[in-house]
Amino acid sequence: MNLFEFENVITDFKPVLGLEVHVELNTKTKVFCSCPTNFGASPNTNVCPTCLGLPGSLPVLNEKAIESIIKIGLALNCQIAPWSRMARKNYFYPDMPKDYQISQYDEPICFDGFLDVLVPNGDDSSKIRIGIERVHLEEDTGKLTHAGGFTGRIHGADYSLVDYNRAGIPLVEIVTKIIPDTGELAPEVAKAYVATLRDLIRNLGVSDVRMEEGSLRCDVNVSLMPIESNQLGTRTETKNVNSLRSVERAVRFEMQRQAALLKAGERVKQETRHFHENDGSTSPGRSKEQAEEYRYFPEPDLLPIAPDSKWIEQLRSELPETPTAKRERLKQAWQITDFEMLAVVNAGALDLIEATVELGTDPSAARKWWLGKITRIANERGVELEQIDITPAQVAEIDQLVATGALNDKLARQVISSVIAGEGSPGEIVQKQGLAVVSDDSALLDAIKEAIVAMPEVVSKIQDGKLQASGALIGAVMKATGGKADAAKVRKLLFDYLGVSQD
Amino acid sequence: MTELTRMTAVDLAAGIKKKEFSAVDVAKAHFDQIAAVDKKLNAFLFIDEDGAMAQAANVDKKLASGEFLGPLAGVPVAVKDIFTQKDIPTTCGSRILENWRPPYDSTVVSRMKNADMVLLGKVNMDEFAMGSSTETSAYGPTTNPWDTSRIPGGSSGGSSAAVAGFLAPLAVGTDTGGSIRQPAAVTGTVGVKPTYGGISRYGIVALASSLDQAGPFARTVLDAALLHQAIAGYDPLDSTSINQPIPDFVAAAKHKDIAGMKLGIVKEFAGEGYQAGVLNRFNEAVAILRNLGAEIVELSCPSFTYALAAYYLIQPSECSSNLARFDGMRYGLRVDDGDSSVEQVMAATRAAGFGPEVKRRIIIGTYALSSGYYDAYYGSAQKVRRLIADDFNAAFSQVDALISPTSPITAFKIGEKLNDPMAMYLNDICTIPVNLAGVGGMSVPIGLADEDNLPAGMQIMAPVMCDDRMYRVAGALESALVSSWGGLLLDKAPRL
């Protein structure tokens, strides 16, 4: 497949994005029945007549799901419809027990909102406002497993198994308005939008938003228009892009692929595409060149949804601080730049640093530990920062040891590694491994005297006023104590011993 | 003593309580009657003799130990094969559900079980309740006990035939456009389509969700009221069921005094297509109501003219979606040669499993919901529906209840209209507006038509959640008619 150089795509084309994100709500029961929603149960055990769509069964709407979607809508600055209806989306597929999905059509519960996201832009960052078209409620389908065949898809499979545990889990679909004019930032914008949305929903406590478990799934729409044109191009919809990095890669790949087609005088086909994690490419799915025929009509088994305006206002007043507001507040409190804040957010360290600071740690120190050693370990392991086994309380304890001079930075990093390795609490580790800074003056003085004897020429330089030469002596003392000395203290003792003023 | 099978539910329940006979005796008598005559009627699709005899024995045991028993304890009932009953076959009269045994009880079934009623088995119906004659059942037509060459009405024809043929004193059916009232009218029985939302739809295989409503069949108005009372009321499992206290139907049926009530005759329910003998009986019944002190007025509901057209868009539209799930993947029939794609298996299963009337409506509904046609068909039909409801509201602001013939004609010959859908659909011309508006409707026997000596019925219609008014009118009318006949109309039916 031909790909166009990304830099050249931007010179010739303007990318237009659209993102559809599906979020599984973490309600205790399903959206239309009282079956449990826990992930990982044995296949077809979390089912009943209603979520199996047995003849005669009827749906009853879960009030908690309505509450959750209204919270999401409010957090996304949406209007909340005073009256809306569920609708049936009719199509045949074996993962759908009723062969129609109860969803919403032209009457979504929430509509017309926005979400501000920050993206890195050179050495600075840009704030971009993403318009939200609609937020609606629907039921999830069952899960198909295709056995045999080569593709893992239904065509060519020997047989397929269906697990309806997932059928009827409440899903919220969040659809952006078209996102124009992002230029070369397009891949980053897409990623930042999903990341910000994920943080916002997690913050609301209405979903686990775990991309790896499928509780947040993203479809990425991309089209290109020639740089001189304002005519929207043909879009493709890359389905189920299931990590933040993949969102960015999928956008980048589609931009490059579509540009290559357009440059060669070919046309982009309107279709869904599959994303491949291994090489970041996409491949054709089903054609969308013919209008889809879902025969939507209002769901007659359910009453219209007419939330009381007092209830909506109550939910609004109870909303937690938005991630954007929180970033702004912490940026001020910690006295850092937008760019530095972006590094914190991109590392997934905001909440962790905040918690550490709340335990009394200096903000810059907290940032240093989380973005330094701990982030490096997370990167080496290829996991999210929050999955690393060290708590803000442990980091705060380590920092306290540094502040009191019991540890220096180097030793502190060693303690961090040991905590993460599960060797105990910071205090225990310092104890067990004898890592504490040597603060016994006489022991240090002995080491200083040894160094002076070994390097008389350095002592002369210092006495001649070349104070910077003291580094060699201090280095020797640090070496002799196995790095467990506080360098500032060694320096003070050295100058005192030599009777030289430090100034 | 009267034969047990010819007794009313009220008398059976009383006799059981007084230990004049046992619930087991009653059940046994009905199974004997079924064994003797159902080959002529084909009302029952499944006879649950073991289950029913156990239920009856349990009633006798409870009685012996002095436990409280409800007003219908030990009374047998026939169940239309559209209600799920745990572990009992539920076919909806279709091949596609042959041998399907649901794992759960419908709310109507569980309420009848809780009332200690004895569920005899499942009775025949038009396939998925689509029809007015029970001829579209995949399991053969049911016949009319008055004349076994004729239809018992439909779609609840098994229910009407079972009650009229003395196979069961009571039955439950469902009514989407007239499927309880028309069969009741053509068999000389009482049938009630309650206010939409008055009885839970949970466990009723859906034809058209916004129109379907369950209701009772009986030989008397009071029996119908008792069964209605037992199965009515809010159900949290059905979002469309109404969360309000249920009126006292039994008291209304016993009231018998209609002096001062204002009843309206709808002008649009007359004219071409109405059998003269049916109109004669209707007019005589109106005269009786007037004699009983009711004020009769004529009024117009102009939108009713469009009811049939609107109905045959809304009902097939909902049905096309409701019947999608019968795809051979999870239950019921599956036609699979082992070498077909999932789409081919679904298509083959539906081609083999559905009959022609079901296919006709699925195709009509699929078309009506398609984008580009939705506004013209489904959208317009919903507007007509609103207008019909407005007409009812306007009428009920002037009168307490409306009356009309139930069906414009008496029972026709089996096969006579099967290949003429429009003629078949016209049977429901008087009953359809009631479903579209969600109000209550009831049919009571008013005598035999002059031309053919077959039963005719009067439809009584009342506002939402005022179904007790229908019982009040029907109870008074029945009382007067039974005195003049010297017994129930059904007593005039030939013995099978």
Interval B161-206: pLDDT, tens: 999 999 999 999 999 999 999 999 999 999 999 999 999 999 999 9
Q: What is the pLDDT of residue A286?
A: 80
Q: What is the arithmetic mean of pLDDT over A129-142?
A: 97
Which is the catalytic residue, given B132, B179, B241, B443?
B179
Name the band, by pLDDT with cuts 50, 70 and 90, for residue A402: confident
Domains and CATH numbers, chain B: 4-304+385-492 (3.90.1300.10)
Given B209, B325, B341, which is nearest A99 (Cβ)? B325
Q: How much is the mean pLDDT over chain A?
A: 89
- Can you tell me the ipTM of this complex? 0.96
Question: Does the pLDDT value for residue B95 go beyond 60?
Answer: yes
Interface probe with B: pick from A30, A48, A92, A293, most Cβ of B within 10 Å = A92
Q: What is the mean pLDDT of residues B451-465?
A: 98
Q: What is the mean pLDDT of residues B59-82?
A: 97
Q: What's the pLDDT band for A440 if we cut at 50, 70, 90?
A: confident
Q: Which residue of A has its CA nearest to B378?
A: A297
Residues A280-305 pLDDT 10s:
899 998 877 677 789 999 999 999 99
Q: Does B367 touch chain A (CB under 8 A)?
A: no
Average pLDDT over residues B131-157: 97
| Structural domains of chain A, with CATH | 6-315 (no CATH), 347-433 (no CATH), 441-498 (1.10.10.410)
How close is the nearest chain A Cα to the Cα of B207, in Å? Answer: 10
The model's confidence at residue A46, banded by pLDDT at 50, 70 and 90, is: very high
- Does the reported pTM lie above 0.90? no
Residue of B nearest to A164 (CA): B330
Question: What pLDDT, on a 0 to 100 scale, did the predictor assign at position B1?
Answer: 55
Overall average pLDDT of the B71-81 stretch: 98
Residue of A378 and A90 predicted with greater confidence: A90
Options B155, B160, B303, B407, the catalytic residue: B155
B positions 66-125 inside 8 Å of A (CB) = 83-84, 90, 92, 97, 100, 102-104, 106
Choose between A63 and A477: higher pLDDT.
A63
What's residue A160's pLDDT?
86
Q: Secondary structure of chain B in the HEC alphabet? A: CCCHHHCCHHHHHHHHHCCCCCHHHHHHHHHHHHHHHHHHHCCEEEECHHHHHHHHHHHHHHHHCCCCCCCCCCCEEEEECCECECCECCCCCCHHHCCCCCCCCCHHHHHHHHCCCEEEEEECCCHHHCCCCCCCCCCCCCCECCECCECCCCCCHHHHHHHHCCCCCEEEEEECCCCCHHHHHHHCCEEEECCCCCCCCCCECCCCCCCCEEEEEECCHHHHHHHHHHHCCCCCCCCCCCCCCCCCHHHHHHHCCCCCCEEEEECCCCCCCCCHHHHHHHHHHHHHHHHCCCEEEEECCHHHHHHHHHHHHHHHHHHHHHHHHCCCCCCCCCCCCCCCCHHHHHHHHHHHHCCHHHHHHHHHHHHHHCCCCCHHHHHHHHHHHHHHHHHHHHHHCCCCEEEEECCCCCCCECCCCCCCHHHHHHHHCCCHHHHHHCCEEEEEEEEECCCCCCEEEEEEEECCCCHHHHHHHHHHHHHHHHHHHCCCHHHHCCCC
Taking only the tens place, the pLDDT of each residue in A325-336 is 888 899 999 999
Q: Which chain B residues touch A154 with a CB distance below 8 Å?
A: 342
Which residues on chain B are in Cβ contact (under 8 Å) with A300? 208-210, 240, 318
Q: Does the pLDDT value for residue A405 go beyond 80?
A: no
Place A151 in a pLDDT band, splitting at 50, 70 and 90.
low
Q: What is the pLDDT of residue B466?
A: 98
Q: pLDDT tens, B273-321?
A: 899 999 999 999 999 999 999 999 999 999 999 999 999 999 999 999 9
Of the ranges A234-238, A484-488, B161-165, B300-304, which one carries the lowest mean pLDDT score?
A: A484-488
Q: In chain B, which residues have their Cβ closer than 8 Å to the Cβ of A53? A: 325, 330
Q: Which listed residue (B80, B122, B193, B417) is catalytic? A: B80
Query: At A152, is the pLDDT very low, low, confident or very high (cuts 50, 70, 90)?
Result: low
Pick A383 or B131 by higher pLDDT: B131
* Predicted pLDDT at A149: 66
pLDDT by residue (tens digit) across B414-439? 999 888 888 888 889 999 999 999 99
Among chain A residues, CA nearest to B103: A49
- What integer best gives the mean pLDDT of chain B? 96
